[in-house]
Amino acid sequence: MKASIVLLPGDGVGPEVVAEARKVLDAVSAKFSHQLSYASHLIGGIAIDETGDPLPPATLTACKAADAVLLGAVGGPKWDDPNAKTRPEKGLLAIRQGLGLYANLRPVKSYPELIASSPLKPERIAGVNLLVLRELTGGLYFGKQGREQTDRGVRAFDTLEYVDFEIRRIVKLGFTLARGRKKKLTSVDKANVIETSRLWRQIATELGKEFPDVALEHQLVDSCAMRLVTAPGSFDVMVTENMFGDILSDEAAVLTGSLGMLPSASLGEGKLGLYEPIHGSAPDIAGKGIANPVGTILSAAMLLRHSLGLEREAAAVEAAVEHALAKGARTKDLGGDKPLSTGAMGDTIVEALS
Ligand code: NAD
Ligand code: IPM
Ligand code: MN
């Protein structure tokens, strides 16, 4: 098949890890005789530097016309001035919203070979296979925010809002995904304190009646954070609002051994999706050629599966990652005495594909 992919390398380690994922996409498409074409566009800090806008209109237009989008990361200390007119992260929020990508899938799998890379006890993380399903275009990230001088001092505010349909569509997807897995859905909220969570819980309970074959449980987000490291094997699909999902998924990365391992897919109503590792621009290691490209490579596998419908090819990439890990390939973040560079890790995965 022919498909067009927009690459958004972004900032920091973004270009380094996207280059490796492209290598792997090229290798898998050659192996299965597909023709992928690529166009790179600006997003984030580099887009601010070149155009003044973290999401230039040309980038959004190109993404809308593509079959899928692969993104590295945005942000970094250069653009962290609190008085700056705009920020790289705004570009990321705008593209998620502009493409209507309300569902963020963050699969978390512990690889037997990497059990020693995690600081957690081996018996707790063995066999972990869960999915954090994060609502991506609502909640605290998109509510009214501001700052003003009052007679009590400087007042800053962010607003957490959800309309019922936004909750229903993501929780429904949670049930549907759980149906194809271990048939267990954990709806994570803070219903003991906040109103949006009470609406969330009510809707999840109502939807549960349409999915009698899926076991629904509700869990408060604070104790969920604890359970994620004490009994991670007890989760299947976890569905939650935007910011809770952001925080819980970085915590879940500890189960796999490194934040550099986790991929994500951001999906909406159609086939078009945005694929990115869950980590950021890692300014502390950017430019050193040591970033772990696996999260981005596994994101490329999700791209093949969800946007291009190429299940066999996606599975081949995932198998190549497992094979490379089984052979002992490790970037610095995963430990080991002879860490591979970003490029050598990508090459090892490409070799494992053939
Ligand atoms: P980060 O994810 O960039 O880094 C956290 C830690 O994990 C760092 O020590 C980093 O070196 C390490 N790490 C991250 N990715 C790695 C990889 N692939 N291989 C090896 N080690 C890796 O989070 P942060 O430091 O809190 O944020 C840095 C910047 O990234 C901020 O500007 C933030 O806004 C941005 N950010 C962007 C995204 C995104 O583009 N999706 C996600 C998170 C953070
Ligand atoms: C992520 C990041 C982003 C988020 C930031 C950079 C806007 O942390 O993709 O997880 O909070 O969604
Ligand atoms: Mn995050």
Q: How does residue 354 score in pLDDT terms, banded at 50, 70 and 90?
A: confident
**CA distance linking residue 275 with residue 259, whole number of Å:** 16
DSSP string, 172-201: HHHHHHHHTTTSEEEEEE-TTT-HHHHHHH
**CATH classification code of 119-256:** 3.40.718.10
- Cβ of residue 246 lying under 6 Å from some atom of ligand 2: yes
Of the residues 43, 71, 246, which should be mutated to test ligand 2's pocket, given the most ligand atoms within 8 Å of the CB? 246
DSSP string, 52-115: S-SS-HHHHHHHHHSSEEEEEE---GGG--TT-S--HHHHHHHHHHHTT--EEEEEEE--GGGG
Contact 256, 108 (CB under 8 A): yes
Chain position carrying tokens 């929780």: 171
Specify the amino acid at residue 307. S
Give the residue-averaged pLDDT of 5-24: 98
**CA distance linking residue 238 with residue 257, whole number of Å:** 20
Of the residues 43, 247, 248, 279, which should be mutated to test ligand 1's pocket, given the most ligand atoms within 8 Å of the CB? 279
Extended strands (E) in 286-345: none
Mark whether 189 is an active-site residue: no
Q: For residue 337, what pLDDT is reported?
A: 84
Task: Count Cβ atoms below 10 Å from residue 327 Cβ, excluding itself.
Answer: 12
Contact 42, 106 (CB under 8 A): no
Ligand 2: distance of its center to the CA of 150 in Å?
31
pLDDT digits (tens, 9 = 90+) for 119-160: 999 999 999 999 999 999 999 999 999 999 999 999 999 999
Is 132 strand, coil or helix? strand
Mark whether 337 is an active-site residue: no
pLDDT digits (tens, 9 = 90+) for 274-327: 999 999 999 999 999 999 999 999 999 999 999 999 999 999 999 999 999 999
Task: Show Cβ contacts of residue 227 under 8 Å, excluding neighbours closer than 6 positions.
Answer: 219, 234, 235
Q: For residue 187, what pLDDT is reported?
A: 99
Q: How long a stretch of residues is the chain?
A: 354
Q: Where in the chain is the domain with CATH 3.40.718.10?
A: 1-104+263-354, 119-256
Reply yes or no on whether the pLDDT at 17 is more than 80: yes
Give the residue-averaged pLDDT of 158-180: 98
**CA distance linking residue 290 with residue 16, whole number of Å:** 9
Coarse DSSP helix, strand, coil percentages of the chain, rounded to the nearest 5 percent: 45, 20, 35
Ligand 3: distance of its center to the CA of 245 in Å?
8
Chain position carrying tokens 């994620």: 228
Q: For residue 336, what pLDDT is reported?
A: 77
Reply yes or no on whether the pLDDT at 100 is more than 80: yes
Query: Considering only 17-26, 45-54, 101-110, 329-338, which range has the smallest mean pLDDT?
Result: 329-338
* For ion ligand 3, residues whose CB falls within 5 Å: 246
State the fold for domain 1-104+263-354. Answer: Isopropylmalate Dehydrogenase (3.40.718)
Q: How does residue 197 score in pLDDT terms, banded at 50, 70 and 90?
A: very high
Residue 283 Cα: closest atom of ligand 1: 28
Mark whether 158 is an active-site residue: no
Average pLDDT taken over every residue of the chain:
97
Contact 134, 246 (CB under 8 A): yes
